[in-house]
Amino acid sequence: MIQPRTQTAQYWEEEFALEQTDIDQLYNHLLEVEKPQTIAQMTTVVIEHRVNAELKQVERLMAGRTIYQPADNYDVGAKLVFPVMQFAHGDVTGKRKGFNPQVGQFEVIQVDIDGEAKEFASNLEADHVLNQSEDNDSELPDELAAIDVNNLVAVYGEKVGASIAESLEGHEEFLRLGSNWFVKSLMAEVNIGHLHLAEAVLEMSGGGPSPTTEILPHLDMDAGLDSAVLEFSLNYSLLNDARFDEVAPKGEVAWYLHRLEPDAVKNAPERLQYSPIPHDRALLSPQLLLLERELDDEWSDVDVPDLAQAVVFTLTFPHRWAGTIPLSARIRPLLPIGQSPRQQITLIDEFSNEEIDGWIVKDGRYIYGLGDWYEQYKIPIGGFVHLKPGPKPNVIIIGYDKRRSQREYVRLATANDNRIQFELRKRGIECGFDDLLIVGTDVTAAIDALFRRSESQQRTIASLLSEIFDPLAALNPQNAVHAKTLYSAINMLRRVPPGPLFAELVRHPAFTPVGDHYWQFDRVRWRESN
């Protein structure tokens, strides 16, 4: 049996690398079709090219020679080719009689292959795997003639496509937008006048979002070019102009004027900005790691689920303050997040069916646009907010744990002598909440001042814990504070994910675990260690 190289996993998964002949083939293909091509289409071109190249190589190796088959008779001087030996060439130099009790009489031919004498059976009447047909002197072996390019694309296309895309990134002549590729020489002209007109079109529509197909008719570009070329060319120019933002979900294209985007979309609100805090994750017990996963902070390093499913998240002070949703591990699968740094989405109020314009800010790991919604329904810090997939990929349905208003004792933060304090007060609550996380305030401006002071002084987690611990512990008869409460309260003064906080609780001798994630603070040890 012959195993063509292009039919093996090793060839495509281990040996394949884009060569100049492949690049030339892709370039000529794009010149021929004169329109952008997806990476899947280009992968098919390359795989087909490699298969055809192997077939042509085999045809060259077989030219003027006979495929060796044990059943045939060969005279001295016969020129043979051996497919199972990488199409090695051999000349018959002699022959003799042979016999085997199992197969009977046959002949043995001596063949010179690259100066080395080898012997092979001929005139063999018994069945043999190398016997293909009665007359195949000029035919390709069956295994080569029957290669299915589409099947190769289905099996190896994804890996080959990734390799092609990576290689083409380094070639100046090839341009990529998303999964589409084109060449510079075929691009439509997009001049500064076209870009000014595109800006005016978007401004007239309130900034956007507008798909490229709605912008193009206003630009008076070359109507003789294919619409796919015009769209690719304009998209490429808009993408490289700081005035424009591509804000559509993955797989779509829509443009927005960057200067007309909300301020909190262009620049992350100060309370959501997180500078990574070095910490030793080995300090976190399995129980603390589970608690970290439960809190689902957007800056926690946890695995992202594979499938989108309904999510209930607990609103924290930074996101209540900024009117945002954390783009956390459990929430990210709900949305088709693309390559753009900012992406517009739609949130639907499950109670009123009102549509709310939302913005994904990928680098900041948040979704902006919920400030009015939080105020309308009086969602407290610690309140349970529901998210579930909407009718379209770029739509989320948002709700909350609605219930009849009840007066509950909640922790409220105050400010005194440039320090944060906490007290229990009754408040009417119309939303289900986690009583360990609920930490509100009636003096937001004063707490903001403490936050900025903490930032300017670059206070450590331990220093902030020493400030919040005693007033929080005073609200508990056991003089202990739950790790969740510490997480909620410290985020009033500094953006801190659970991991660094928990690691500091474990590391510092002044903090002692007393069970069920409750901790106590020993101020004597604190003074001794500081």
H or E element, residue 160: helix 149-168
Q: What is the DSSP string of 468-521?
A: HHHHHHTTSTTS-EEHHHHHHHHTTTS---HHHHHHHHHH-TTEEEEETTEEEE
| C-alpha to C-alpha distance for 12 and 158, rounded to whole angstroms | 10
In this predicted structure, what is the pLDDT of residue 322? 97
Better-predicted residue by pLDDT, 253 or 66 = 253
Per CATH, which fold does 187-261 belong to?
A: Arc Repressor Mutant, subunit A (1.10.10)
- Quick one: average pLDDT of 143-172? 84
Residue 56 — pLDDT band, cuts 50, 70, 90? confident
**The pLDDT of residue 128 is above 70:** no
Identify the pLDDT of residue 144: 58
Calculate the alpha carbon distances from 450 to 69, 372, 466, 481, 520 in Å. Answer: 89, 25, 15, 21, 24
- CA 371/CA 378 separation, integer angstroms: 10
User: What three-state secondary structure class fits 98?
Assistant: strand
pLDDT grade for 2, boundaries at 50, 70 and 90: low
Residue 353 region, left (φ>0) first, then alpha (ψ -120 to 50), else beta? left
Q: Is the pLDDT of residue 293 over 90?
A: yes
Give the chain's end-to-end CA distance (angstroms, integer). 78
Assign 130 a pLDDT band (cuts: 50, 70, 90): low
Contact 321, 444 (CB under 8 A): yes
Beta strand 180-183 with 384-389: parallel, antiparallel or unpaired? unpaired
Q: Say which CATH class 297-403 falls into.
A: mainly beta
Where along the chain do its domains lie?
5-61+147-177, 70-131, 187-261, 297-403, 405-529
Burial label, 67 (beta-carbon count in 10 A; 0-12, 13-18, 19+): buried
State residue 312's pLDDT score.
Answer: 95
| CA dist., res. 34 & res. 226, Å (int) | 8
The enclosing H or E element of 174 equals strand 174-177
Confidence of residue 88 (pLDDT cuts 50, 70, 90): confident
* Cα–Cα distance list, 511 to 32, 221, 363, 459 (Å): 71, 68, 34, 18
Residue range 94-102: mean pLDDT, rounded: 84
pLDDT digits (tens, 9 = 90+) for 117-126: 888 888 887 6
- Residue 403 and residue 377: Cα distance in Å, rounded? 11
d(CA 521, CA 377): 37
Most confident range (mean pLDDT) of 70-79, 333-342, 445-454 is: 445-454
Average pLDDT for residues 47-71, to the nearest whole number?
Answer: 82
| Alpha-carbon torsion angle 250, 252, 256, 261, nearest 10 | -30
Q: Which of 275, 259, 338, 17 is nearest to 160 (CA)?
A: 17
Question: Which one-letter amino acid corresponds to residue 78?
Answer: A
| Residue 438 clears pLDDT 70, i.e. is over it | yes
The pLDDT of residue 132 is 57
Question: Average pLDDT of 68-82?
Answer: 84
Q: In angstroms, rounded to a whole number, what is the distance separating the alpha carbons of residues 211 and 201?
A: 11
Q: What is the pLDDT of residues 16-42, one digit of tens each?
A: 999 999 999 999 999 999 999 999 999
Tokens of 376: 């309308």
**What pLDDT, on the 0 to 100 scale, is given for residue 352?**
96
Greatest alpha-carbon span in the chain: 111
Q: Are 181 and 39 in contact (CB under 8 A)?
A: yes
8 Å CB contact between 510 and 523: yes
Given this model, what pLDDT does residue 137 score?
46
Question: Residue 266 in 3-state DSSP?
Answer: helix
pTM: 0.78
Nearest Cα to Cα of residue 492 among 358, 373, 371, 322:
322
For 355-374, the pLDDT digits (tens) are 999 999 999 999 999 999 99
The predicted-structure confidence for 301-323, as pLDDT tens digits, reads as follows: 888 777 778 999 999 999 999 99
CB 25 within 8 A of CB 46: yes
Mean pLDDT of the chain: 90
Omega of the bond leading into 209 within 30 degrees of 0 (cis): yes
d(CA 340, CA 360) in angstroms, rounded, equals: 9
Q: What residues have CB less than 8 Å from 460, skipping those under 6 apart?
A: none
- Of 9-18, 126-135, 289-298, the range with the lowest mean pLDDT is 126-135
If pLDDT is split at 50, 70 and 90, which confidence band does 511 have? Answer: very high
Q: Report whether pLDDT(520) > 90.
A: yes
Q: In what order do the strands lie in the sheet with 439-441?
A: 419-431, 402-416, 439-441
Distance CA 30, CA 475 (A): 71
The torsion region of residue 115 among left (phi > 0), alpha (psi -120 to 50) and beta comes to left
CA of residue 1 relative to chain centroid, distance: 42
Give the residue from 311, 245, 40 showing the smallest Cα distance to 161.
40
Identify which of 314, 329, 371 has the alpha carbon closest to the alpha carbon of residue 347: 371
Helix (H) or strand (E) holding 505: helix 498-507
pLDDT at 135: 43
Q: What is the pLDDT of residue 62?
A: 72
Q: Which helix (H) or strand (E) holds 412?
A: strand 402-416
State which fold the 70-131 domain adopts. Answer: SH3 type barrels. (2.30.30)
DSSP label at 241? S
Integer CA distances (angstroms), 249 to 178, 272, 346, 359, in order = 12, 23, 11, 11
Looking at residue 7, what is its pLDDT? 82
**Dihedral sign of CA atoms 393, 394, 395, 396 in order:** positive
CA dist 43 and 30 (Å) reads: 13
Average pLDDT value for residue range 254-278: 95
Q: Where residue 146 falls among pLDDT bands split at 50, 70, 90?
A: low
Bridge partners for 440 per DSSP: 412
For 4, which DSSP code? -
Supply the pLDDT for residue 343. 94
Residues 475-493: what's their mean pLDDT? 95
User: In this model, does residue 6 exceed pLDDT 70?
Assistant: yes
Question: Alpha-carbon distance 38 to 198, whole Å?
Answer: 26
Domains 187-261 and 405-529 share a fold: yes
Q: Sign of the CA dihedral 502, 504, 506, 511?
A: negative
CATH topology of domain 405-529: Arc Repressor Mutant, subunit A (1.10.10)
Q: Cβ(89)–Cβ(79) under 8 Å?
A: yes
